[in-house]
Structure 1
Amino acid sequence: MAILKIKVKPNSKQQNIHQEPDGSFKVSLKSPPIDGKANEELIKLLAKKFDVAKSQVTIKSGLSSKNKLVELPLPLLE
């Protein structure tokens, strides 16, 4: 399992995922951070990018924060 450090930017005009030089990710989401909509969009986007099922993507910490730790069933990323 891999744990990704992710900084989320909700209410963006475009959806994208950008990997930072330190290995963390910056993710722009169209959804607002209301009623878990941004978290749902984040899970869908990560599942699609890393080709895993949505049920395998788990937000381990930061449910109500911009900084999140997300667990995916991947070999460790470098």
Structure 2
Amino acid sequence: MSVFEAKDGGTLIRVYAAPRASKEAVIGEFDGMLKVAVKAPPVDGAANKAFEKFLGKKLGSPVTLVSGASGRRKVFWVEMDPEDVAARLA
């Protein structure tokens, strides 16, 4: 399984979540996933919304959480080619 996978006309992004960080950033790969940090705490879905917003801003396209709402291992979907996603998040 790779970090980026083509699915349903878009791309699945496998993310290892780091909420409550001091800054928002794409940190790099970790355990076969893209490690992403956001400032929001993992309370009442705040971190999930922050991940969607941060990734959407980096990609220039809306991002949707597909699975992993309550864990660190999350999967997001964006309507873009995997190559474009990889280039923008590099």
TM range (shorter): 0.7 to 0.9
Q: Deviations over 1:20-61 (max 9, x none)?
A: 2887311111111000000011011011000113xxx11111
**2:74 is the alignment partner of 1:68:** yes
Q: Which has the higher contact order (CA 8 A, sep 6+)?
A: 1
> Any gaps of 5 or more consecutive residues in structure 2?
1-9
The two structures have a TM-score, normalised by structure 1, of: 0.85
Partners of 1:47 and 1:72 lie apart in 2 by 8
Partner of 1:47, secondary structure, is: helix
Q: Provide runs of 4+ in structure 1 moved above 4 Å.
A: none
Say how many residue pairs are matched: 75
Q: Is the 8 A contact 2:16 2:30 kept in 1?
A: no
> Any gaps of 5 or more consecutive residues in structure 1?
none
- CA 1:11–1:64: 2 relative to 1, 3 Å: same
More strand per residue: 1 or 2?
2
1:1-78 equivalence runs, <5 A: 1-20=10-29, 24-53=33-62, 57-77=63-83
The two structures have a TM-score, normalised by structure 2, of: 0.74
More divergent stretch after superposition (13-22 vs 66-75):
13-22
